[in-house]
């Protein structure tokens, strides 16, 4: 039995904008498949749309893929056996194949003007017929057509769609058949000389020996034309796998309207690449058995299969992505999280650019304290409010604090607590603070929530939050550091609270 050819897949983005989640999932599924099959992952830049393609988008695309860890074996930046890997560098190749197709009678010159084509289209609409090219220029004498082109008449090149149904196999959808009557003879090279997507993609996939074309299902309707091109060019037809559309929570096609959709936006929000990769892998694919949700890239490579990709649309669930991100943030390497978190706190001017060793240590503890409470790193400044933006008036008047503060036990706890804080001359350590709480407990005969909640409200503004053991040292040390925004000490908080409480 002949060995099956080495798996070769490609991700073929157009550099016309930011890498969005739909394309990222395509890149990911290609990568997973290539890595699992020990095949080659090719990156090809499809920049034949000269108007919309920009070099900066290509640079950003490559950066985004690297950030996600989706590496490639051949591509514009690293070359490879089947390059060049940027379509604008392959124009000669496309010209050669197009002329060959004309010579072999598989393609023909088309002189129809845009106005004529539009008239045909309008007529088809009026007659409720299929809006496909009439095939008028198919019937021209090839020698005559060549003569007209040589004399300077503008001519596009069209492929002759064969007069039989077009079949192909799609791993996600099974056998797909298109009746040839529904497929127009496609233009493969415009009269301007510019080759079009459906044509160049086939030439490239064939020349690059791609075995599996994994892409978005927005290309499903292009596939019969491409299959006809493979056949006309005498190339083997690859396997296809068309991935379903991604919808927003409202079941409309995912778009900017739904919020962040580009890799760059999620990165800026403080989503970790492994969380995004994990989430996108589950968008339209599920491992067999079990309901596990977290997978490392290595686990995904092991488990992935195109056969388990669903043809039905996938709904992008932002909350699930953020939930996963929270899990990854909690287990990520501490130094990495600190390095990633600092810019968010600096941008909110909670921390300065220059930090000495003590301040760095303090910032690290601050981040340790806050990270378990966020889904994304951009939420850190808000979460830091209990440290940096203590607001006694808000604490006193908050709806869910009122019942506690107004209760008899609450009042007793607060006054006993305030009295002791005022009489302590030095700052507090976790231990000395605990000692005070014990005294308050003994004096008031309260315990549990009755004891802790009022004190927590006085210190942080809220009855829930992290342990005093961690909060108190952070507040006390912070109050002595020259931070861009002063952190109120325990004593300052209590004084401010008492004043606000008395006035309420």
| Out of 7, 8, 9, 12, the residue judged to bind ligand GLU by CB under 6 A | 12
Binding mask 27-46 for ligand GLU (x = CB under 6 A): -------------------x
Q: Under DSSP, is residue 277 helix (H, G, I), strand (E, B) or coil?
A: helix
Q: Is 270 in the site for ligand GLU (CB under 6 A)?
A: no
**Run of H or E including 472:** helix 468-480
Find the part of the chain contacting ligand GLU (CB under 6 A) among 6-14, 107-115, 278-286, 386-394: 6-14
Catalytic residue among 6, 78, 256, 449: 256
Q: Is 342 in the site for ligand GLU (CB under 6 A)?
A: no
Q: Which is nearer to ligand GLU, 12 or 65 (CB)?
A: 12
Find the part of the chain contacting ligand GLU (CB under 6 A) among 10-18, 98-106, 429-437, 450-458: 10-18
Q: Which of 197, 238, 244 is nearest to 217 (CA)?
A: 244
Active-site residue flag, 256 = yes
Least distance CB 200 / ligand GLU (angstroms): 9
CA distance linking residue 53 with residue 48, whole number of Å: 8
Q: Is 14 in the site for ligand GLU (CB under 6 A)?
A: yes
**Run of H or E including 10:** strand 8-11
| Out of 13, 273, 410, 454, the residue judged to bind ligand GLU by CB under 6 A | 13
Other beta carbons within 10 angstroms of residue 463's beta carbon come to 18
Interface residues for ligand GLU in 44-103 (CB under 6 A)?
A: 46
Least distance CB 42 / ligand GLU (angstroms): 11
Total residues contacting ligand GLU by CB under 6 A comes to 7
Q: Is 219 in the site for ligand GLU (CB under 6 A)?
A: yes
Beta bridge pairs of residue 108: 158
Enter the tokens of residue 134: 């009439």
CA distance linking residue 63 with residue 81, whole number of Å: 23
Q: Which is nearer to ligand GLU, 27 or 374 (CB)?
A: 27
Find the part of the chain contacting ligand GLU (CB under 6 A) among 7-15, 265-273, 358-366, 377-385: 7-15
Enter the tokens of residue 392: 């006694």
**Run of H or E including 158:** strand 156-159
Q: Is 201 in the site for ligand GLU (CB under 6 A)?
A: yes
- Helix 430-444 and helix 408-423, axial crossing angle in degrees, nearest 10: 140
Residues 427-433: contacts with CB within 8 Å, 24+ apart? 427/476, 427/479, 427/480, 427/489, 427/490, 427/491, 428/472, 428/476, 428/490, 429/472, 429/473, 429/476, 430/468, 430/469, 430/470, 430/472, 430/473, 433/468, 433/472, 433/490
Q: Is 202 in the site for ligand GLU (CB under 6 A)?
A: no
Which residues of this chain interact with ligand GLU, rule CB under 6 A? Answer: 12-14, 46, 201, 215, 219
Catalytically annotated residues: 256
């Amino acid at each position: 039995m002949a060995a099956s050819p080495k798996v070769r897949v490609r991700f073929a983005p157009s550099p016309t904008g930011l890498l969005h989640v739909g394309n990222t999932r395509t890149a990911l599924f290609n990568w997973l498949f290539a890595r699992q099959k020990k095949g080659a992952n090719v990156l090809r830049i499809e920049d034949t749309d000269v108007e919309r393609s920009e070099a900066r988008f290509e640079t950003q695309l490559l950066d985004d893929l690297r950030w996600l860890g989706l590496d490639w074996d051949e591509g514009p930046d690293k070359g490879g056996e089947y390059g060049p890997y940027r379509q604008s560098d392959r124009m000669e190749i496309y010209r050669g194949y197009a002329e060959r197709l004309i010579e072999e009678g598989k393609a023909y010159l088309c002189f129809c003007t845009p106005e004529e084509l539009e008239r045909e289209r309008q007529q088809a609409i009026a007659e409720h017929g299929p809006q496909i090219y009439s095939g008028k220029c198919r019937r021209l004498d090839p020698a005559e057509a060549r003569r007209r082109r040589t004399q300077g008449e503008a001519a596009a090149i069209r492929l002759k769609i064969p007069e039989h149904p077009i079949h192909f196999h799609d791993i996600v959808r099974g056998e797909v058949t298109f009746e040839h009557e529904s497929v127009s003879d496609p233009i493969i090279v415009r009269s301007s000389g510019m080759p079009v997507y459906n044509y160049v993609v086939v030439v490239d996939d064939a020349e690059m020996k791609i075995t599996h074309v994994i892409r978005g299902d927005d290309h499903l309707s292009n596939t019969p034309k491409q299959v006809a091109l493979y056949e006309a060019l005498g190339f083997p037809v690859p396997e296809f796998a068309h991935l379903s559309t991604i919808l927003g929570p409202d079941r409309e096609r995912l778009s900017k309207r739904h919020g962040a959709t580009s890799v760059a936006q999620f990165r800026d929000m403080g989503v970790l690449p492994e969380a995004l990769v994990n989430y996108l892998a589950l968008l339209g694919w599920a491992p067999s058995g079990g309901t596990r949700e977290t997978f490392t890239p290595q686990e995904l490579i092991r488990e992935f299969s195109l056969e388990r990709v669903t043809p039905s649309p996938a709904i992008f669930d932002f909350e699930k992505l953020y939930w996963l991100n929270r899990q990854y943030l909690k287990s990520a390497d501490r130094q990495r999280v600190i390095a990633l978190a600092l810019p968010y706190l600096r941008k909110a001017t909670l921390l300065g650019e220059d930090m000495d060793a003590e301040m760095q240590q303090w910032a690290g503890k601050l981040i340790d304290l806050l990270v378990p409470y966020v889904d994304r790193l951009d939420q850190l400044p808000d979460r830091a409010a209990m440290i940096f933006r203590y607001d006694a008036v808000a604490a006193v008047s908050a709806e869910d604090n009122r019942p506690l503060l107004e209760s008899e036990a609450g009042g007793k706890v607060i006054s006993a607590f305030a009295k002791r804080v005022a009489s302590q001359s030095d700052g507090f350590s976790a231990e000395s603070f605990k000692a005070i709480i014990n005294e308050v407990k003994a004096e008031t005969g309260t315990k549990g929530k009755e004891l802790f909640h009022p004190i927590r409200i006085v210190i942080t503004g809220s009855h829930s939050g992290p342990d005093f053991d961690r909060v108190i040292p952070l507040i006390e040390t912070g109050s002595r550091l020259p931070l861009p925004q002063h952190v109120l000490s325990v004593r300052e908080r209590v004084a401010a609270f008492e004043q606000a409480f008395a006035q309420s």
